[in-house]
Amino acid sequence: MDKVMLGMSGGVDSSVSALLLKEKGYDVIGATLELYAGSSCCNINTYIDAKGVCNQIGVPHFTFNYKDEFKKYVIDDFINCYANCKTPNPCIECNKYMKFGIMYEKAKEMGCKYIATGHYAKTEYSEKYGRWVLKKSKAGKKDQSYVLWNIPKGLIQYVIFPLGDFESKDEIREIAAKNNLRVAKKPDSEDICFVPDGNYKKFLENNSEIKPKIGNIVNSKGEILGKHTGLYKYTIGQRKGLGISYKVPLFVIGFNPLKNEVIVGEESELYKKEIEVSDINLLLVNEIKDWIEVDVKTRYSSKFAKAKIKQDDNDKSKIIIIFDEPQKSITPGQSAVFYIDDIVLGGGKII
């Protein structure tokens, strides 16, 4: 019987995952990571719910304190991105370093062959590519393969996603209810876990050197149109809260950190045909020498866009993306994730 460590947040997805793994005959160990005191996924209720479900279905549960590591790999990156006019996705860093990094090392230490989470995604061996691949789940908009592009490629064959073949959250709640799991009706957490009130600006001001600083709002010609109180308060594509009136709607299209300027423009100025990404992670191939056609997602909530990609001939650590149609509100710091059919080819951070 293979042993598997399951990351448990106390929510319905990971709780049902524990049940499904046990039903399939795995020797399951539930693990909750303490990452940030008072966050939406690291509070006393989280531990009580996760441990309660494990007790109910008869599997052991452990809690591991990784607050220092979480600060180093996730929170510090979050702060650094905003300090450099980028918009981060902390879930992607957490998956790479915490769940599929540190938790996997702990799992091996405890004799586990596999790790599992309640993500909506799939892993399987592809005969076509001769390797293990990360794939989209059947959950449509709920699919979470986008936030998993940065996990180590060699780990894929040791990862199990028990929810990969379910099409909706309702099915998961139904299983939880049928088995009388205490978390069957527990609401989802949509916020950044360490910013449970959703006010990331206040979080940055309270936890870093980032403070309000007045500067100019300018258009692409350099004309001053208004004032702002801090570059970190804005993101590409933002229209509301600019506090300026103009003959046409204006949107944030960029930043000039040296001059402490927010740059705004008309909607047409938000579109880009070509972008680059760095910090790349290729899961399906070892390198991209020639142009290949892919579907690209530039945000978790964005639609897929057709594009061609290849590694930069002069710098293999970057990938050039040329979209078939210009894309709106491309945001530095976010991830561009590449798909061939339903397989994740890889991804990178938008520059």
- Active-site residue among 42, 85, 112, 193? 193
In Å, how far from its chain's centre is CA 38?
Answer: 20
Say which residues have a Cβ less than 8 Å from residue 349's Cβ, sequence separation at least 6. Answer: 277, 278, 279, 332, 333, 334, 335, 336
In Å, how far from its chain's centre is CA 101?
Answer: 15
193 is catalytic: yes
Query: Are the C-beta atoms of residues 58 and 200 closer than 8 Å to each other?
Result: no
Contacts of 69-76 with C-beta under 8 Å, sequence gap 24+, read 69/97, 69/98, 69/102, 70/33, 70/35, 70/36, 70/94, 70/98, 71/36, 73/97, 73/98, 73/101, 74/35, 74/98, 74/194, 75/36, 75/194, 75/207
Helices and strands, number each (H, E), in the chain:
8, 17
Say which residues have a Cβ less than 8 Å from residue 215's Cβ, sequence separation at least 6. Answer: 227, 228, 231, 259, 260, 261, 262
DSSP SS3 for 340: strand
- Active-site residue among 41, 91, 94, 112? 94
Nearest one of 85, 4, 75 to 37, comparing CA atoms? 75
In Å, how far from its chain's centre is CA 324?
Answer: 25
Q: Are strands 3-7 and 261-265 parallel, antiparallel or unpaired?
A: unpaired
The H-or-E segment that residue 51 falls in is: helix 44-57
- Please provide the DSSP assignment of 6-32 as one string: EE--SSHHHHHHHHHHHHTT-EEEEEE
94 is catalytic: yes
CA distance 90 to 209: 19
Question: Which amino acids are annotated catalytic?
Answer: 94, 193
